[in-house]
């Protein structure tokens, strides 16, 4: 089960049962977690504050859009480099051909 925790910065932190268990293993045995327990987490999930979830999904979509832009920019740069390499190859071929023709 996943729980949402609202941070003061406006970010939403998602925690799964697996991440909670991993955090408990890393904590020394004398310390206790003062955060919400599983029963409280279920209550939070049941109320379903879907606006937080939608905002989080929207942020993910926006980040994917930014990543797509970066990928497209990288592809354009690679195409520009490939075009320059092709021009150099054609010029080299022209020079070699001319030298062979003259000889």
Write down the domain spans for the chain.
1-48, 50-103
Bridge-partner residues for 4, per DSSP? 14
Look at the block and give the residue holding tokens 């955090």: 23
* 62-85 pLDDT tens trace: 889 999 999 999 999 999 999 999
pTM: 0.37
Report how far residue 65's alpha carbon sits from residue 47's, in angstroms, rounded to the nearest whole number: 30
Looking at residue 71, its pLDDT comes to 93
Hey, how many other C-beta atoms are within 10 angstroms of the C-beta on 79?
Answer: 10
**88, pLDDT greater than 60:** yes
Dihedral class, residue 48 (left if φ above 0, else alpha if ψ from -120 to 50, else beta): left
Looking at residue 39, its pLDDT comes to 52
Identify which has the larger pLDDT, 44 or 13. Answer: 13
Mean pLDDT is highest, among 23-37, 39-53, 87-101, for 87-101
Beta carbons of 37 and 47 less than 8 angstroms apart: no
């Amino acid at each position: 089960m996943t729980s949402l925790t609202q941070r003061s910065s406006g970010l939403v932190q998602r925690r799964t049962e697996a991440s909670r268990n991993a955090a408990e293993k890393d904590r020394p045995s004398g310390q206790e977690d003062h955060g919400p327990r599983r029963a409280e987490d279920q209550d939070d999930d049941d109320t379903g504050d879907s606006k937080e979830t939608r905002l989080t999904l929207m942020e993910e979509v926006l980040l994917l859009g930014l990543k797509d832009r970066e990928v497209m920019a990288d592809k354009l740069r690679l195409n520009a480099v490939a075009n320059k390499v092709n021009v150099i190859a054609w010029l080299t071929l022209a020079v070699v051909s001319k030298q062979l023709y003259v000889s």
